[in-house]
Amino acid sequence: MYAEAGRQGRWNTALLFKAVRILGREVRHYEDSVWTLHVEGFQEAKLDLEEVKKERLEDIKRLVGSMKSR
């Protein structure tokens, strides 16, 4: 996926989802939180700060931490 993203000059949704599937169930769980934050929080502005802190922040921290160790 990384090489394909390089050829295209960017990551697209299809490549991102393929990479997440390859990385496994745990990463997919965390990525779901990130995706929800992006869509519902940023694009749709439906999440308030407390919702993000309460429901998403820990998953996002764990996802970033798991990627650092790879």
Q: Is 30 helix (H, G, I), strand (E, B) or coil?
A: helix
Q: What is the reported pLDDT for 69?
A: 65
Residue 8 pLDDT greater than 90, yes or no: yes
Residue range 12-62, pLDDT digits in tens: 999 999 999 998 888 888 888 888 888 988 888 898 888 888 878 888 888
- pLDDT range class, residue 3, cuts 50, 70, 90: very high
Residue 33 contacts residue 63 (beta carbons within 8 Å):
yes
Reference 34, options 18, 70, 58; nearest CA is 58
Dihedral of the alpha carbons of 42, 22, 26, 36, in degrees to the nearest 10: 10
All structural domains of the chain with their residue ranges: 24-70
Q: What is the reported pLDDT for 38?
A: 87
